Chains A and B, each alone.
Chain A
Amino acid sequence: MAIFIDQISKRYGEHIVVNRVSLEVGEGELVVLLGSSGSGKSTILRMVAGLIIPDEGRIVLHGKDITALPPQKRGLGFVFQNYSIFPHMTIAENIEFGLKIRKISSPERQKRSHRLLDMVGLSGLGSRYARELSGGQQQRVALARALAYEPNILLLDEPFGAVDTKTRIQLRQSLKTITRNVGVTTIMVTHDQEEAFELADRVAIVNRGRIEQYGLPSDIYYNPATAFTAGFVGDINTFEGRIKSCGKERCEIELFEHWLVYRRGPHSFQPGQKVFYGIRPEQIRVSLLEPEKHENGIFGIIEKSTFLGDITRYAIRLNNNRLLDVQLLNYLFLDGMVMPYELNEPVWLIWSQASGMIVPSDEACEQHPSVFCA
């Protein structure tokens, strides 16, 4: 285990920004802290860096307790959101800064800075200044600078925040390749879910100073541990309901108007327990035929369709006047239409009983009102 964060907390006056957070990161792993603004994710990162001192808890790096060490002595690399390239030094001098502090000789420094410039795709631009480069290029410099002295860990604080979308995607892909090649243990902070899922080996969902869930992107997406995570990652249709029964093979849940849905697999819910049942828009298919016995389904009327290029989103009006979000891949384009169904046509919405999420109802509304109390 490369990094062990042990119950760290940070308080500013009455406001608890980080609340007893624990996390472990494996050697060479890329972990992403995903959360919205104010969730405390940047504070956690800065405590690992030593830029903020935790009020309690400790940080262990390769078995050594570094909680009391200043940032200079932690041997880490940090990439800031605003790049922070020193404006009065050339790019090469910026990259060599960490090496100069470590008293590496000038020819060796130059060799390394050339190699790093090549690695981040900025060969030959060493004598330029920050103001002559684009945002994306500056971010590459920041990365090269942080990796120059071969740090133990690489920390990135919303590194692609200030860049346009296309550049973001390019930088993302470069980052993954570079960190893989260098083999450095990395922790990154972002609010962008797609970015987190593309880059991370594991994702930690951060909410109000706590880690809601920590695991593989697919685990978080399909098996959210909390109501917050279910609503935060991706889109989801939610229904209030009550557990009718939970056996070894599957659970039976009663939703509005005695509509029953099933969820395969063993669960530990009690009969009569109030829950939220969720199904994601891309997990639903549209059909004129009734659902089979092994499927879940509901009847509805197509009220709206939005063409988004690769997908089409549908808003389906259900019997209880609710709208269901459905997302279909635009697989076929025939006779000037993407789908053979028309507006106001009654259809069946069907999904597998292996899909769907059950989340206990008590905290759901409080944790994520926009999704669960709409």
Chain B
Amino acid sequence: MKQIRTIQHKISSWLPAGFLLLVMLPLILLPLASVFIYAFKGGLGNLVLSLTTDDVLFAIRFSLIIAFATALVNAALGTYAAYVLSKTRFPGRTQLGIILNLPVAIPNVVVGTSLLLLWGPIGLFGQALEPMGLQPMFTPVGVLLAHIFVTFPYMLGTIKPVLDDLETTYEEAAYTMGANRLQTFFHVVLPALKSGLLTGSLLTFAHSLGEFGATIMVSGNLRLRTQTAPLYIFSQFEAGNIQAANSVAALLSLISFVLFSIIIYFAARNSRK
């Protein structure tokens, strides 16, 4: 009797997880697995070959550089925006906060077209820049602009709660000891933001790596000029080179997986503290 109950108990404790796995299988797990299966289809030798063409090497390097630059710029911008929204009072503060989070609500493709409309050859800024010979669209600068726009809310959303939670008495203590606002920011506030900045940067980096909608619009998908890794994958698929596309897709998935694992690890460590 006891044995049957133990078996029943074992099954019932595994049942919820098992069911979840079953549901997730066709949605996430099997498609992901197929990417890797197709990548290895022609054998390991072919895989290495398809990962070392000029186009691929450029695309991956370009994606990594853009992601890194985006994280850097947004770390500075996001911190500044979070500080202003959290620590200062002015009319329209709530509204500004909502506007700065808009990019998350707008489809990335729309972000791309909006940037084209502003900076492109017939755009407001674009027309002003043309006589100087400057045209950010269809250049790496344009890609960077798009990525900054699209990933900004992720940085803001990570840092602002940390600032909100930071006790004002820390800053007040610094003030009473003679520190001005800037000194207080660097010596007291910034160190407290370290973990938030790290998480925010990793998040921004990961999102930039996978960015497609806005990038395809502003970059013009020019190979060896503005073609990021996701754009390369798309182009290869369109051209019918399934194996090449999947090789890079597999590599990109691996990088993203590692990145997000690190983010989750740090987030868990912070919540335990």
The yes or no answer to B15 lying at the interface (CB within 8 A) is no
Contacts of A86 in B (CB 8 A): 170, 173, 187-188, 191
Query: By DSSP majority rule, is chain B's interface helix, strand, loop, or mixed?
Result: helix
| A102 contacts B178, C-beta separation under 8 Å | yes
| A77 contacts B176, C-beta separation under 8 Å | yes
Contacts of A73 in B (CB 8 A): 178
Q: How far is the CB of B189 from chain A (nearest CB, A)?
A: 10
The yes or no answer to B237 lying at the interface (CB within 8 A) is no
| B170 contacts A98, C-beta separation under 8 Å | no
| B176 contacts A78, C-beta separation under 8 Å | yes
A84-B169, A87-B192, A88-B192 given as contacts; is B179 within 8 A of A101 (CB)? yes
The yes or no answer to B174 lying at the interface (CB within 8 A) is yes
The yes or no answer to A312 lying at the interface (CB within 8 A) is no
User: Which size bracket describes the interface of B in this complex?
Assistant: 10 to 19
Interface hits, A74-123 → B, CB 8 Å: 74-78, 80, 82, 84, 86-89, 97-98, 101-102
Nearest neighbor of B173 in chain A, beta-carbon distance: A84
Nearest neighbor of B174 in chain A, beta-carbon distance: A97
The yes or no answer to A70 lying at the interface (CB within 8 A) is yes
| A51 contacts B172, C-beta separation under 8 Å | yes
Contacts of A77 in B (CB 8 A): 176-177
The yes or no answer to B46 lying at the interface (CB within 8 A) is no
The yes or no answer to A10 lying at the interface (CB within 8 A) is no
Nearest neighbor of B183 in chain A, beta-carbon distance: A101
Once bound together, how far apart are the Cα atoms of A51 and B178, in whole Å? 12
The yes or no answer to A71 lying at the interface (CB within 8 A) is yes
Q: How far is the CB of A297 from chain B (nearest CB, A)?
A: 54
Interface hits, A59-77 → B, CB 8 Å: 70-77
Once bound together, how far apart are the Cα atoms of A103 and B175, in whole Å? 16
| A80 contacts B191, C-beta separation under 8 Å | no
| A72 contacts B172, C-beta separation under 8 Å | no
Beta-carbon contacts of A242-263 to B below 8 Å, as 1s and 0s? 0000000000000000000000
The yes or no answer to A145 lying at the interface (CB within 8 A) is yes
The yes or no answer to B54 lying at the interface (CB within 8 A) is no
| B192 contacts A145, C-beta separation under 8 Å | no
| B169 contacts A82, C-beta separation under 8 Å | yes
| A78 contacts B173, C-beta separation under 8 Å | yes
A88-B192, A145-B177 given as contacts; is B169 within 8 A of A71 (CB)? no
Nearest neighbor of B191 in chain A, beta-carbon distance: A88
| A84 contacts B167, C-beta separation under 8 Å | yes
Interface hits, B183-198 → A, CB 8 Å: 183, 187-188, 191-192, 194
The yes or no answer to A351 lying at the interface (CB within 8 A) is no
The yes or no answer to B180 lying at the interface (CB within 8 A) is yes
| B175 contacts A71, C-beta separation under 8 Å | yes
Pairs A-B, 4 closest by C-beta atoms: A98-B177, A78-B176, A88-B191, A84-B173
A residues near B (Cβ < 8 Å) are 49-51, 70-78, 80, 82, 84, 86-89, 97-98, 101-102, 145-146, 149, 155
17 contacts between A and B (CB under 8 A): A49-B176, A71-B175, A71-B176, A72-B176, A73-B178, A74-B176, A77-B176, A78-B172, A80-B173, A82-B167, A84-B167, A88-B192, A97-B177, A97-B179, A102-B178, A145-B177, A155-B176
Known: A78-B176, A89-B191. 18 other contacts (CB 8 A): A50-B176, A51-B175, A51-B176, A70-B175, A71-B172, A71-B176, A72-B178, A76-B176, A77-B177, A78-B172, A82-B169, A84-B169, A84-B173, A86-B173, A87-B192, A88-B191, A101-B177, A145-B173
